[in-house]
Amino acid sequence: MSKTRQRRGVKINGIRITGYLLAIAGSAILAVVGTPFAPRTLAGSDNFSTRDFPGAVQTFAIGVSPTGGIVGNYRSIDGKDHGFLLSGGEFTTIDVPGATRTLANDVNARGDIVGRYDIAGVGHGFLLSEGELTTIDFPSATFTAAVGINSLGDIVGRYDADGKTHGFRLSGGELTTIDFPSATFTEPSKINPRGDVVGRYDADGKTHGFRLSSGQFTTIDVPGATRSVANGINARGDIVGRYDIAGVGHGFLLSEDKLTTIDFPSATLTAATAINPRRDIVGHYRSVDGKEHGFLLGKL
């Protein structure tokens, strides 16, 4: 890892960030997604396959590239969290030197990987591109995590400041804050090539999914669910995520206003976390023994 320098409050290593723009998104149009859903359930499909890091205590698949490369996180037997890349059938561990924890959250078509690492109890975002590590710290934040990246290199994530959690977008060298109106917590998860962003927000004691497109927010709430989270979006606008009913988590695919529930066979919890242009879906599930596993669901 080469030397890190700092400019205008943003740590840089390998890329030049010329400045940052703070813009609070507050005038967006809110639309609740409800009755247009035509639900169906997908479970027991032969297209499901488990993706577990060898020897890991638990594995979470979090991001998938257009060519099928998967990134995520695993916990080793010593209790430490590591990032990983699964490409061409081979796992590679991603550990930031000196960090006590490393999480890999997304990968784009160029193989750029974003995530988070912790040092001395403080979380920092990172970009790993062509072997160079760039630390991303939002100005004046006490915590930063990079969560999604698109083919253009635009990055979304979250940061903590002033007792609240805010979303951010890093594009063209400018940092922009993303806050769902009246929310106490906003976390963007993924961004597609068109610049559409999905994620989650908390308001009125409840967690909701959202989509941000052309400056307008749309709430994504699965009917009857106590919690809905939008985790991934592809270039077509297909959205994947998780919803909870009666304390049980289910994955979902939202495509052309049709909702498909995704439940890994015999799992007690399923969450879909990312979808690529060919509609490969990755996520994680909990088996009956309480262990977390990554999964790949082939094109639907």
Residue 259 vs residues 100, 174, 212, 225, 269: alpha-carbon distances, Å: 39, 35, 19, 13, 18
User: How many other CB atoms are there within 10 angstroms of residue 209's CB atom?
Assistant: 27
Q: How confident is the model at residue 43 (pLDDT cuts 50, 70, 90)?
A: low
Contacts of 58 (CB under 8 A, 6+ apart): 74, 75, 291, 292, 293
pLDDT at 3 (0 to 100): 29
Is the predicted pLDDT of residue 11 greater than 90, yes or no? no
> Over the stretch 112-159, which tens digit does the pLDDT of each residue have?
999 999 999 999 999 999 999 999 999 999 999 999 999 999 999 999
Q: Can you tell me the distance from the alpha carbon of 261 to that of 250, in angstroms, rounded to the nearest whole number? A: 7
**Rg, C-alpha atoms of the chain:** 18
Residues with Cβ within 8 Å of residue 121, at least 6 apart in sequence: none
The stretch 276-292 carries a mean pLDDT of 97
Predicted pLDDT at 94: 98
Mean pLDDT of 237-253: 97
- pLDDT of res. 298: 87
Give the pLDDT confidence of 113-123 residue by residue, as tens digits: 999 999 999 99
Rounded to two decimals, what is the model's pTM?
A: 0.86
What's the confidence (pLDDT) of residue 42?
A: 59
For the chain, domains (ranges, CATH) are: 5-297 (2.120.10.30)
pLDDT at 288 over 50: yes
Tokens of 181: 């109106």
